[in-house]
Amino acid sequence: MEILRRRALLFFGLMLALIIFGTIGFIVVEHYHWFDALYMTVITLTTVGYYEVKTLSTAGRVFNMILLLVGVNAILFGVGMMTSTIIELQLDHYFDRKRRQRMIDSLHDHFIICGFGRVGRGAAYELMRSKVPLVVIDNDEDRIEMVIKAGMLGVLADSTRDETLRGVRIDRARGLVAALASDADNLFLTLSAKTLNPKMTVATRANEDESAAKLRRAGADAVVSPYGVTGSRLAQSLIRPHVTQFLDYAMLDPAVDLGIEQFRIDESSELSSRSLRDLKELRREYGVTVLAIRRTSGEMFFNPDADSKINPGDHLIVMGKTSSLQALEKVLVIAKS
């Protein structure tokens, strides 16, 4: 769209320059009144064939021929430039849309972000920073343009429609973020998403406290209130500033090589059915620390002791350098979720 705006400005600038040139020329050559000179310039450039305001002299006819030749060719050039630009943009848009759709069709275990407002933007950038596949849906063209410029896949559509969700391969998606403006839309989206893919994890925003329970009953796995979280974070930054700063370093600051990751333990994993005491090499070889164990029942054990047993289906919450976490994942060959 930027190139279209630039070329449109160029075209109108060229026309304005021709009108000014012709008006001044008729004033100088034929001594016309400025309005008569402007009128003669316009009827000459538009080739409408009206008679002259006054009979032209030889010099006036020569100038009129020059203006006519230059003006008609300039107009044809400008019209051709604008037409070719529009056709190029249409073709580029078509092929770009087809290319993005092919990329979306090839996605597996990806995340879907519905809504690219402030909340959706934060979720998308965090997932992008984690280098996981994702696709963004929004019904605002300017927002989708932002998505594409940021290097993400974007779809201009209504995310509450089933055909839109099927188009981004929700059947193969790993998770979905419902970050639409209203709780009613997020509720409807959650119901649709869970119907199309019951195994997928759905995280949604809730503006009102009473909406949170409804969203959970609709199938949302996680419900976050942006206003509640922000208020709590502000209070924590006053009461426990160093803890808040540490969490910011660990979770948000890309310059700090520190991350907190979760790993699901499969039956085939070498960690399965072993205790943390048997896994001292985790810290010695990889420099990571086990912060918590989440059981399959949903119970969370923080700072587990050395005798804590790791069962199949449990999740380990681990902190360490990004490179160490990636190396640990490769060695254990366990599924991340």
Residue ranges, comma separated, of all CATH 3.30.70.1450 domains in the chain are 257-332
46, two tokens? 């538009």
**Nearest-CA neighbor of 162 among 132, 193, 131?**
193
What's the pLDDT at 91? 66
In this structure, which CATH number among 2.130.10.10, 2.160.10.10, 3.50.50.60, 3.40.50.720 belongs to the domain 108-224? 3.40.50.720
Residue ranges, comma separated, of all CATH 3.40.50.720 domains in the chain are 108-224
CATH homologous superfamily for 257-332? Regulator of K+ conductance, C-terminal domain (3.30.70.1450)
Residue ranges, comma separated, of all CATH 1.10.287.70 domains in the chain are 2-102
Instruction: Report CA-CA distances (Å) from 4 to 1, 8, 11, 97.
Output: 5, 6, 10, 19
**Nearest-CA neighbor of 56 among 30, 82, 79, 27?**
30
What's the pLDDT at 161? 92
Q: pLDDT 10s per residue in the chain (337 long)?
A: 667 778 788 888 888 888 898 899 889 988 888 898 888 888 888 877 677 777 888 888 888 888 888 888 888 888 888 887 777 777 666 666 777 778 888 889 999 999 999 899 989 998 988 788 999 999 998 998 899 889 899 899 999 999 999 999 999 999 999 999 899 999 999 999 999 999 999 999 998 888 888 999 999 999 988 877 778 878 888 888 888 777 777 666 666 667 778 888 777 776 677 777 766 666 677 778 888 888 888 888 888 887 788 888 888 888 888 777 777 777 665 444 4
Distance CA 151, CA 328 (A): 28
What's the pLDDT at 93? 67
What's the pLDDT at 294? 87
What's the pLDDT at 281? 64
Q: Which fold has domain 2-102?
A: Helix Hairpins (1.10.287)
Q: The whole model's pTM is what?
A: 0.61
What's the pLDDT at 297? 82
What's the pLDDT at 200? 92
Tens digits of residue pLDDT in 70-98 = 888 888 888 888 887 777 777 666 666 77
Contact 257, 322 (CB under 8 A): yes
Give the strand pairing for 201-205 and 175-178.
parallel
Give the strand pairing for 274-275 and 309-310.
antiparallel
Distance CA 19, CA 170 (A): 57
Contact 290, 304 (CB under 8 A): yes
All residues at 6 or more sequence positions from 3 whose CB lies less than 8 Å from its CB, including other chains:
85, 89
What's the pLDDT at 175? 94
What's the pLDDT at 336? 44
What's the pLDDT at 185? 93
What's the pLDDT at 174? 92
Distance CA 63, CA 53 (A): 15
